[in-house]
């Protein structure tokens, strides 16, 4: 089966996942990179960083073009490291996937964020903030090591068992 890995990664976290997929898929991988409509595969690994609780717009637009394909979704998100959070994101992503496709798997993990995000939190007025800024800062620091070797090993295991 011909496969392709289509992804968007601004700062390299999602690219790490894409590389793990490339190294571990058994199917012929004919393309890895940003959306490219010249590619014609049967199995698509489609990945993204998370922006406003959803995949990057260029990836959502690409997903909308797929019909009768097998799709594996993957991505990295910064704001929380929890299954319910990842499920929420993936449910939003699935709104862009036609029903003729089959989603054969999915994988998300946390990804480190640019320091500008922490600086924005630190500039907030802690006393009057509507949310818990210190928990955001704590999460920012926890995210710094991700994707880590365990995140990548979990993905490797999933890919090898497809």
Ligand X SMILES: Cc1cc2nc3c(=O)[nH]c(=O)nc-3n(C[C@H](O)[C@H](O)[C@H](O)COP(=O)(O)O)c2cc1C
Judged by CB under 6 A, the residue of 25, 46, 113, 155 near ligand X is 113
Residue 151 makes contact with ligand X by CB under 6 A: no
Judged by CB under 6 A, the residue of 5, 20, 50, 90 near ligand X is 50
Q: Which range in 28-36, 45-53, 96-104, 130-138 contacts ligand X by CB under 6 A?
A: 45-53
Judged by CB under 6 A, the residue of 4, 5, 6, 14 near ligand X is 14
Are the CB atoms for 79 and 105 separated by under 8 Å? no
Q: Is 140 helix (H, G, I), strand (E, B) or coil?
A: helix
Token pair for 33: 């990179």
**Calpha distance 147→128 (Å, rounded):** 33
Are the CB atoms for 7 and 66 separated by under 8 Å? no
Q: How far is the CB of 133 from ligand X (least distance, A)?
A: 16
**Calpha distance 46→33 (Å, rounded):** 10
Q: How far is the CB of 151 from ligand X (least distance, A)?
A: 11
Residue 78 makes contact with ligand X by CB under 6 A: yes
């Amino acid at each position: 089966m011909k496969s392709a890995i289509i992804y968007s990664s601004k700062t390299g976290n999602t690219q790490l996942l894409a590389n793990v997929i490339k190294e571990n898929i058994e199917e012929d991988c004919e393309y890895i990179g940003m959306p490219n409509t010249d590619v014609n595969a049967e199995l698509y690994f489609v990945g993204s960083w998370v922006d406003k609780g959803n995949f990057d717009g260029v990836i959502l637009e690409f997903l909308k073009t797929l019909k009768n394909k097998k799709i594996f979704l993957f991505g990295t998100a910064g704001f929380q490291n929890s299954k319910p959070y990842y499920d929420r994101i993936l449910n939003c992503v699935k709104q862009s996937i036609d029903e003729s496709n089959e989603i054969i798997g999915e994988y998300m993990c946390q990804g480190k964020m640019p320091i500008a995000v922490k600086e924005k939190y630190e500039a907030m007025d802690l006393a009057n903030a509507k949310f818990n800024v210190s928990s955001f800062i704590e999460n920012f620091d926890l995210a710094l090591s991700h994707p880590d070797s365990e995140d990548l090993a979990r993905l490797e295991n999933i890919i090898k068992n497809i």
